[in-house]
Structure 1
Amino acid sequence: MPRLTALLLLMMLTPITQAAEPLLFRAGLDNTEWLLSGSVFECRFAQTVPDYGSAVFYHRAGEDVHFQLETSRNLMDYSNARVSILPPDWQPSVKTEFLGTARIVKDTPNLTLDHERTNRFLHALMEGKWPTISHKTYYDPQRYIRVQVAAFAFDDFYQDYLQCVKQLLPVNFDQVARSKVFFAAGENAIDRKDSKILDTIIFYIQHDPRVFAVYLDGHSDNQGRRYDQRQMSKARVEDVERYFIKQGINPDMITTRFHGGRYPVASNNTAKGRAANRRVTIRLEQRDDVPIPPELLFQLPPRNDR
């Protein structure tokens, strides 16, 4: 009996602790703000998360859309956060969809989702659900943060976002800035497959005024005399240069060099390696300080005109 009394006394004196409710950051019906900006190079479809930052659907030309969380002041621990979709408040019986985890990092954006989960976020917003990032705070592992994207007015602004996506270029700078075309043994002229690659590069150059230089470098394998290797690489790079100029690229932008077999990227001891070395590389240079012309920026007419 004394032992039971002591146990009851201990329970009475021990404070009852409960897990604190997550600190919630999300916009409400009266302050949900969707912002859309872009150009032929990218679209940025963002919602302001009051007192926390921005939830961004970032769509770059030539790629699929990615969700990004950008914080004004990050409160989450720098580790894996929980990614989920919560049901709308009026459907509490609907199950939460758990989409795995994603890492919180110190750089901006602080979190990035792959395109598959990003598209599931967009689909959830169409259904009025709450895409959610949840995680413990960096200053107290017992306290949690929950950041949600609100679906209010999503349908109207989503149509605007689709208009922005429609005018994106088919490729982006990184996809064409470092390219190669290859040649069969003894050949120095581009074929139909090569011309398709070059056409894509040329198309991008013609639509991005920030590109100011094109460097073409010709290479060969190690077969034959060094002089012949050098002449072959020269003929290859000149054929690519002629194609660029014929398609309207300013010759003043182009710099050509030829190296023979001096810079192999693979072993010349195998047929596969020699094929990789018979190449012309194309490198584009872009100026970051050149503003995008207004005609390449995405603009929607006023809402009362649509």
Structure 2
Amino acid sequence: MLLSLFAAPQTLAGRHYVATPAQSEWQVVVDTPLECRLVHGIPNYGDAQFSSRASKKINLDFELKMRRPMGETRSVNLVSMPARWMPGDVAERITQMQFFKQFDGYVGGQMAWALLSELEIGRFPTFSYRDWVNRDKQIEVSLSAVSFQNSYNQFSACIDNLLPYSFEDISFTVLNFEQGSEELNKPSQQRLTQIAEFVRYSDDIDLVLLATYSDSAQGTEVSQEMSEKRAKRLEEFFLSLGLPPDRIQVESYGQRRPIADNANPIGQAQNRRVVISLGRTII
């Protein structure tokens, strides 16, 4: 059994899946401010994949993508194995988990970071579980640390450049305008810049809904006209980001639907607003 190369004790006959040094390859397949993805092929088994996404929180997911999904839920041992060129080093148990029926194996959060740490020091994280087809067989799947470091450096740099907010953070946003102006106030301008950054790097935004409103400081016609001007300017802004016209919908409500009392400046400032709603394709 191949696991003997890593000096592990044998209890059951079975199969060990691992890339040979010549086969081992790590590749950053996604490198954007929205997502980073690092993939390692495991011959005859599938792929190992680390991914991190734009968010307010640091995050990391690991998936063991199997060509043949688990037919039964299995308890899985995760062990850090020394490479064969590490004489004297011993296997170290990391944790035990479950891989669920009909799903790829998943490891998240701190444990996913632990996998990266083991690979960085040249060890081989190894998943071990009872084969669901042949119950007397053991399946072992190892991540090879060979040729890991350069791609890991690129992956780490990508994570450092992820936007510090997610789609959920900007999918529904209320921005406010300066009085009697088509210009957003300073905080809203900063927020619009964040939305623009996300939209610019996304290929799955399929709807931008812009709904503009005004206060009642001026007459109904003037308020409606200002609302329409504000909507038109924002529409042009999103078109400049590369969105097709048919993905942008504009509604101008003027003085209608106030959310605050128009009798005072604070309420008027709240009513001078645009509501930006984003939709995205769900795969």
TM-score class, shorter: 0.5 to 0.7
Q: Which residue of 1 aligns with 2:38?
A: 45
* Distance apart, 1:118 and its partner CA: 1.6
- 1:174 to 2:142 alignment: no
TM-score by length of 2: 0.64
Q: Which residue of 2 aligns with 1:9?
A: none
Structure 2 spans left out of the alignment, 5+ residues: 1-9, 215-219, 260-271
Q: CA RMSD in A?
A: 4.6
- Once residues 200 and 60 of structure 1 are traced to their aligned partners in structure 2, the CA distance between those partners, rounded to angstroms, is 15
- Counterpart selection for 1:54 from 47, 51, 56: 47
Q: Percent identity?
A: 19
Q: How does 1:63-212 map to 2 (within 5 A)?
A: 64-74=59-69, 77-89=72-84, 90=86, 94=90, 96-107=92-103, 110-162=104-156, 164-165=158-159, 170=163, 174-175=167-168, 178-181=171-174, 191-208=185-202, 211=205
CA pair 76-150 structure 1, distance change in 2 beyond 3 A: farther
Shifted more, 45-54 versus 235-244: the winner is: 235-244
CA pair 100-182 structure 1, distance change in 2 beyond 3 A: farther
CA pair 139-27 structure 1, distance change in 2 beyond 3 A: same
| 1:188-222 deviation per Cα after TM superposition (whole angstroms, max 9, x unaligned) | 996544333222112223344664641024699xx
Does the CA contact (< 8 Å) of 2:48 and 2:65 recur in 1?
yes
| 1:149-191 deviation per Cα after TM superposition (whole angstroms, max 9, x unaligned) | 011122233234345556x5526873466222277xxxx9965
- Once residues 137 and 228 of structure 2 are traced to their aligned partners in structure 1, the CA distance between those partners, rounded to angstroms, is 62
Residues paired across the two proteins, number: 248
Q: Which residue of 2 aligns with 1:269?
A: none
- Once residues 227 and 76 of structure 2 are traced to their aligned partners in structure 1, the CA distance between those partners, rounded to angstroms, is 52
Structure 1 spans left out of the alignment, 5+ residues: 1-17, 221-227, 265-277, 289-306
**Which structure has greater strand proportion?**
2
Shifted more, 85-94 versus 123-132: the winner is: 85-94
| 1:78-101 deviation per Cα after TM superposition (whole angstroms, max 9, x unaligned) | 244333423444355545132341
| AA at the equivalent of 2:100 | I
| 1:263-283 deviation per Cα after TM superposition (whole angstroms, max 9, x unaligned) | x9xxxxxxxxxxxxx985422
